[in-house]
Structure 1
Amino acid sequence: MGWIETSGGYAVTLDGTRVLCRNAAGRALKQVPAKLKDDAEVVRLRQLAEWLERHERECREQVDAWLVRSLPVPVALLARVWPDAAWQSALRDLVVAPVAADGSADTARAGFLRDADPVRGLGIVDLDGDSVRLDPAKVATVLIPHPVLLEELAELREFAAELGVEQGAEQLFREVWRRPEPSDDPADAGSTAGTAGTAQDWRAYANGKFEQLRHATARAVSLGYRVRGGQVVCPLVEDGRPLEAAYWLGDDYPDTETLTGSLEWRDAAGRRLPLADVGPVAWSEGERMAALVYAGRVVVSDEEGAL
Structure 2
Amino acid sequence: MGWLAAGDQYEVALIEGRVAARATSGRAAGRQLKSLPKALRDHPEVDRLRRFAEWLDRHAAACVAQTDLWMVSSLPVPTGLLARVWPDEAWQSALRDLAVVGDDPDEVGFLRDATEAGELRVVNLDGETVRLSPATVTLPHPVLLPDLDDLREFAAELGVVQKVEQIHRATWRKPADLADNATTVTEFSGGTYDSRFALAARATSLGYRVTGGYATCRVRDTGAIVEASVWIGEPYWDDEVTTGGLSWQDLDGRTLPLREVGPVAWSEGMRMAAALHAGRRVEEGKDT
TM-score interval, smaller chain: over 0.9
Task: Judge conservation of contact 1:120–1:133 (CA < 8 Å) in 2.
Answer: no
Equivalent in the alignment of 1:289: 272
In 1: Cα distance, 2:118 partner to 2:215 partner: 43
Secondary structure, in 3 states, of the residue corresponding to 2:49? helix
Cα offset for 1:7? Answer: 2.7
TM superposition shift of 1:27: 3.1
Distance in 2 between residues matched to 1:225 and 1:34, nearest whole Å:
41
What is the aligned counterpart of 1:110 among 97, 108, 111?
108
* Greater Cα offset, 140-149 or 286-295: 286-295
Q: Which runs of 5+ in 2 are unaligned?
A: none
Counterpart among 80, 83, 104 of residue 79 in structure 1: 83
Q: How far has the Cα of 1:296 moved from its partner?
A: 1.3
Q: CA deviation at 1:120?
A: 5.1
Deviations 1:199-254 (A, max 9, x none): 10111111111111100111111111110011011011111111110011001424
- Is the 8 Å Cα contact of residues 79 and 118 (structure 2) preserved in structure 1? no
Which residue type is aligned with residue 123 of structure 2? V
1:155 is paired with a residue of what secondary structure?
helix
**Structure-1-length-normalised TM-score:** 0.88
Which residue of structure 1 aligns with residue 20 of structure 2? Answer: 20
* Residues 81 and 87, structure 1, Cα contact 8 Å, conserved in 2: yes
Match of 1:200 in 2: 183
CA displacement at 1:132 relative to structure 2 = 1.1
Cα deviations by residue, 1:79-100 (Å, 9 ceiling, x for unpaired):
111111100110011111014x
The amino acid of 2:221's aligned partner reads E
Separation (CA, whole Å) in 1 of partners of 2:235 and 2:68: 32
Letter in 2 for 1:238: D
Which residue of structure 1 lines up, in the alignment, with residue 217 of structure 2? 234
Distance 2:286 2:171 in 1: 33
Specify which of 130, 136, 143 is matched with residue 141 of structure 1.
Answer: 136
Please tell me the residue identity of whatever aligns with 1:89.
Answer: S
- Identity among equivalent positions (%) equals 52
Q: Alignment RMSD, CA only?
A: 1.8
CA distance in 2, matches of 1:276, 1:293: 23
Q: Distance in 1 between matches of 2:275 and 2:76?
A: 27
Question: In the aligned structure 2, how far is the partner of 1:39 from the partner of 1:28?
Answer: 17
Of residues 164, 167, 182, the one that matches 1:169 is 164
| 1:131 corresponds to 2:114 | no
Residue from 204, 207, 212 that aligns with 2:195: 212
What residue number does 1:186 align with?
A: none
Does residue 89 (structure 1) correspond to residue 93 (structure 2)? The answer is yes
Which letter does structure 1 place at the counterpart of 2:130? V
Match of 1:55 in 2: 59
